[in-house]
Amino acid sequence: MSILAPSALDLEALVTDMWASFVGAPELLLPAGPPADDAVLWSATVTVTGEWRGMVSVDLAEAAVLGVTRGMLGFGDDEEPDAASCTDAVGELVNVVGGNVKSLMPGPSTLSLPVVSRGAVEVPSEMEEASVLHLTWCEAPVRVRVLTTTTSS
């Protein structure tokens, strides 16, 4: 059995480009350890179904969610985005990562619309983590994961 998924390096290049293009903040995304077990994270997911099946998740602490949403909407530091804008912004992040992951994997396949939740997302039992990127941005944890099913080699 083998796992077919983008590498952590592919993910890092993609997430760095996306941050520069959409968030536009001077603060850098930096490598970090996994978030603390009791950290409350927003989770955004998309699924890819077809020739390749997988799930992509972007998980961020609330401070990162607010900062990302401000950056994407061009808000100042003193402006507080509402929950709908935060959901929209985080959903768009995972949509971009998911679309790019889909493009790197064998097709044809279909990308779902994003689902965003405040709290941990349920991972389907047949999926396992294939690539993970642990980062920190403005001292808040950011995690990007690709999960997929095992395939016969």
Q: Which three-class secondary structure state does DSSP give residue 16?
A: helix
| Residue corresponding to tokens 């971009």 | 96
Contact call for residues 137 and 30 (beta carbons, < 8 A): yes
Encoded one letter per residue, x for contact with other proteins by CB under 8 A and - for no contact, window 41-70 reads: ----------------------------x-
Residues facing 134 on adjacent strands: 143
21 is a contact residue toward other proteins (CB under 8 A): yes
Whether residue 47 contacts residue 126, with contact meaning beta carbons closer than 8 Å, is answered with no
Rule CB under 8 A: say whether 73 interacts with other proteins. yes
Q: Figure out which of the listed residues 29, 55, 72, 116 binds other proteins, where binding follows CB under 8 A.
A: 72
Which tokens hold the place of 4? 């077919």
Residue with Cβ nearer other proteins (5 or 14): 14
Asked if residue 92 binds other proteins (CB under 8 A), the reply is yes
Q: Give the Cα separation of 21 and 26 in Å (integer).
A: 12
Q: Which residues bind other proteins (CB under 8 A)?
A: 14, 17-18, 20-22, 69, 72-74, 85, 88-89, 91-92, 95-100, 102-103, 107-108, 111, 113
